[in-house]
Amino acid sequence: MNKRRSVEEIVAEINYDESKIPEYSIPPLLVKNDGSAVENSWDWMNFRRAEILNFYREEVFGDAPLLPEQMSREVLTVRHDALGGKAIRKEIRLTFTHQGHSRSWTMLLYIPVNASGKVPVVLGLNFKGNHASAGEDDVLITGLDLAGNPVSDERGCQSHRWPFEAIIDRGFAAATVCYHDIYPDFSGEDALRKSIYGLVYPQMSAADIHRKHSAIGAWAWGLSRMLDALGSEEHIDTDRAMVTGHSRLGKTALWAGAVDLRFKVVVSNDSGHGGAALFRRCIGENAEVLVTVFPHWFVSGFDKYAGKDADLPFDQHFLLSLIAPRTLCIGSATKDLWADPKGEFLAGVHASEVYWLFGVRGMPVSEHPAPDVNVTGEISYHLRTGEHEILLQDWEHYLDAAGKIFDRK
Ligand code: GCU
């Protein structure tokens, strides 16, 4: 895209009217680049899936960073009486070292205290620091802005997004890291240099890094490294891992699930455009907003799709199809029109044809469900009444879906 319009100009034209959605056809999932049909799940896993994954690597979220020379793990704190005695709480520093420099993130982890044997784990990134996500007032402050200040010094201000006690009560462990620690969520070179890419590509120009990598790619990579670290925990079963995320972190959870098959349940909460929503409905946010306001979330070449939402050669059912046949949960909210709830649902419906190849249904319904009706299947969906948020009601549905395959109630 050559000439960039201002955000105000773009936002003034945003459509929220279903009757103004252009006629569209959905790019086929089950036709390979050479025009031949995908015959079965084997053909899917070995050929078509790889084509779509490569497409997202080249055009949307980029490649994972080079593996740093060293990764280490240090337990900073342990409490055996967390959450009113229900959980063991640990804070674990993960350090990545490359050519004498390092980056560290602190992972907050809760494990049910009465775990007999290994338990499944829920992991996700948080927006404002571990201290802002937890209700307990002695959690270490994490997540710094570019000036090195906490992104929020308000303890617990986002604890409604992380119902750790409810998660523990259902027999899951839970782990989180602040996403700014992996790639500070700002556009520009300063943030890039402070990110994991700055560590592993110290000599490369910012433009070259951005051509091949993105912030969402870094965050997704971080989720995989969290899972690696959780593998050292005696009571955690990393074969039963659910990756979650809200909004931009929902986009991230989808990409993490696409790349890393160890995530057996993938949760997209209000992930919107660049996440679960179909671009070609042209309702709510669009590609031009994304590349104008958040250019660092995508590889730089993604901006060629700005203004082309209606006839992209791909759409987000492609991203969702990469999760198949694993459990995928899509949550929307009635007032979150910016994220296009119906488009999030329909992408799940279209991705279901890949689930069929595996002999399962995917999304169990084809009509957009009424608010607050949970539809639970290999692809689950609900439309919560309310705002763009992740609340206990959303978590309950995700934990129900995960519980079915992870042997939890
Ligand atoms: C903005 C952005 C969305 C994103 C959201 C969030 O609204 O336009 O794409 O999902 O921020 O992450 O909160």
Give the binding-site residues of ligand 1, using a 6 Å CB cut-off. 247-248, 272-273, 285, 289, 338
* Mean pLDDT confidence for 75-102: 98
Does residue 206 have a pLDDT over 80? yes
Token output for 98 = 């490359």
Is the pLDDT at 358 greater than 90? The verdict is yes
Q: Report yes or no: 3 and 274 within 8 Å, Cβ to Cβ.
A: no
Could you give phi then psi for residue 95, rounded to 5 degrees?
-120, 135
Q: Does the pLDDT of residue 2 top 90, yes or no?
A: no
State the pTM of this model.
0.98
Average pLDDT, stretch 377-398? 98
Q: How close is the Cα of 186 to the center of ligand 1, in Å?
A: 13
Is residue 31 predicted with pLDDT exceeding 80? yes
The whole-chain average pLDDT of the chain stands at: 97
HSE on the CB side for 381, CA within 13 Å? 27
pLDDT, position 115: 82
Band of pLDDT at residue 141, cut at 50, 70 and 90: very high
- What is the secondary structure of 251-298 as a DSSP string? HHHHHHHHH-TTEEEEEEES--BTTTB-GGG--SS-HHHHHHH-GGGS
Has 247 been annotated as catalytic? Answer: yes
Q: Give per-residue pLDDT as tens, 254-285.
A: 999 999 999 999 999 999 999 999 999 999 99
Is 273 part of the annotated catalytic residue set?
A: no
For residue range 297-313, list pLDDT tens digits in order.
999 999 999 999 999 99
Alpha helices for 78-149 (secondary structure H): 82-85, 130-133
What pLDDT was estimated at residue 398?
A: 98
Task: Find all residues with CB under 8 Å of 169, minimum gap 6, and list them.
Answer: 86
Q: Provide the 8-state DSSP code for 376.
A: -
**What pLDDT does residue 408 have?**
83
pLDDT tens digits, one per residue of 112-125: 998 889 999 999 99
The one-letter amino acid code at 207 reads A
CB proximity list for 116: less than 8 A, separation 6 or greater: none
Look at the alpha carbons of 308, 310, 312, 313 in this order and tell me if their dihedral is positive or negative.
negative
Task: Tell me the β-bridge partners of 93.
Answer: 74, 106
Which ligand 1 atom sits nearest the alpha carbon of residue 273? 9
Mean pLDDT of 316-335: 98
Does residue 145 have a pLDDT over 80? yes
Q: Which helix (H) or strand (E) holds 190?
A: helix 189-194
